[in-house]
Amino acid sequence: MRETFIENFSRRRELGGACCIFHRGEKVVDLWGGIRNKRTGEPWEENTMVVVHSATKGLAAMTLAIAHSRRWLDYEERVCKYWPEFAQQGKERITVRQLLAHQAGLFAIEESIDRGVVMDLDRLAAVLARQKPTWEPGTRQAYHALSLGFYEGELLRRVDPQHRSLGRFFQDEIASPFGLDVYIRLPEEIPNSRLATIAPPGRIRMLFGFPLRLTLEAMNRHSNIYRALEINPGAAVYFDEQRIYSRNLEVPSGGAVGNARGIAHAYSMFATGGHELGLRRETLGFMKPSAVWPFGSPSSFGSPGAGGSLGFADPAAGVGYAYVTSQMGTRLTGDPRDVALRDALYSAIQASSAARAGQRVA
């Protein structure tokens, strides 16, 4: 794993990053290196944190899995049972399962939303409740890039007896009790010196690295992907020119800031049964591996982030995995740096299993 991590810098255009792996509850890999700020050349350090974009979705899913395990919500129940105001504009029959599975037709928010609205959860909830689905819920599916987290956050706020925000709940129930350096709501006291900046791909890689159709759609102000990612509020809302990332702001679909160690530890608890969190086996809200995006074993679940970050749990192997980076890549179905690390991981696991099997035979 260490050799592969080093090769990422020499062969795969890594700038700075970290990879951490827990195996059967034990931390077995904890690597970091490179540059955390391309402009200043400052190094990536042991406790450096970085935004992980849509890998945040897996962390947000953890909070709803806990809520489900505490029987605060039922996946088959209608969202409006918990959030009556949601039953507007044809949304009265949308179930929790449909919402979490990106089937609600709510991938874009039509009303103008700025940072002030995102910070005011009551105002944000009113806007979300007024949104009309783009299609009949349950008949189609589209990636709810940013909007999903806002809907999840309000749903959690409604079912939590303390009515905590999703970021606060994550901090209280997962991050703080287990000492994880991961935040969905980055607090004021975190200094800039702990944070890595994101370096975008060069222009040539931007132009040729993404599929042509995606590039054209992203430039079209009327396209679905532009409406989902660039406006109301747009992914830029969780960046801050002076402080790198916005403080006291929750974007549960894209704005989490953390290190690989904390993310891998969180997934490790899910991979080994979640007893520390009081989980039941019936959880939902994570991305599963597929032919297009393979990771781990068929039982794995997690979420990737734009630019290359990934966090996932593999219950079959007992693995909690995380990779984060300061250099955005352009691959949509597995960044080469992350793929190389995962290949090395599973090669090591297979070799270890083979060795144990040989010892038993001997």
| End-to-end C-alpha distance for the chain, whole angstroms | 28
In 110-268, where do the E strands start and end? 182-183, 239-240, 244-245, 257-258
What pLDDT sits at residue 116? 97
The domains of the chain are located at 2-361
Decide: helix, strand or coil at residue 19: strand
Decide: helix, strand or coil at residue 245: strand
Q: Give Cβ neighbours of residue 90 (< 8 Å, ≥ 6 apart).
A: 132, 133, 136, 137
Report the distance separating Cα 323 and Cα 260, nearest Å. 6
What pLDDT sits at residue 355? 80
Decide: helix, strand or coil at residue 28: strand
Q: Are 351 and 344 in contact (CB under 8 A)?
A: no
pTM, entire model: 0.95
pLDDT, one tens digit for every residue, the chain (362 residues): 999 999 999 999 999 999 999 999 999 999 999 999 999 999 999 999 999 999 999 999 999 999 999 999 999 999 999 999 999 999 999 999 999 999 999 999 999 999 999 999 999 999 999 999 999 999 999 999 999 999 999 999 999 999 999 999 999 999 999 999 999 999 999 999 999 999 998 777 776 677 878 888 888 998 999 999 999 999 999 999 999 999 999 999 999 999 999 999 999 999 999 999 999 877 777 899 999 899 999 999 999 999 999 999 999 999 999 999 999 999 888 999 999 999 999 999 999 888 877 777 66
The amino acid at 79: V
What pLDDT sits at residue 207? 67
**CA nearest to 21, candidates 254, 324, 361:** 324
What pLDDT sits at residue 215? 82
Asked if the bond preceding 84 is cis, omega within 30° of 0, the reply is: no
What pLDDT sits at residue 185? 98
Q: Give Cβ neighbours of residue 122 (< 8 Å, ≥ 6 apart).
A: none
Rg, the chain, Cα only: 20
In 1-142, where do the E strands start and end? 16-23, 26-34, 50-51
Q: What residue has token string 């939902």?
A: 284
What pLDDT sits at residue 33? 98
2-361 CATH choice from 3.30.70.260, 3.40.710.10, 3.90.1520.10, 1.10.645.10: 3.40.710.10
The amino acid at 34: G
What pLDDT sits at residue 361? 63
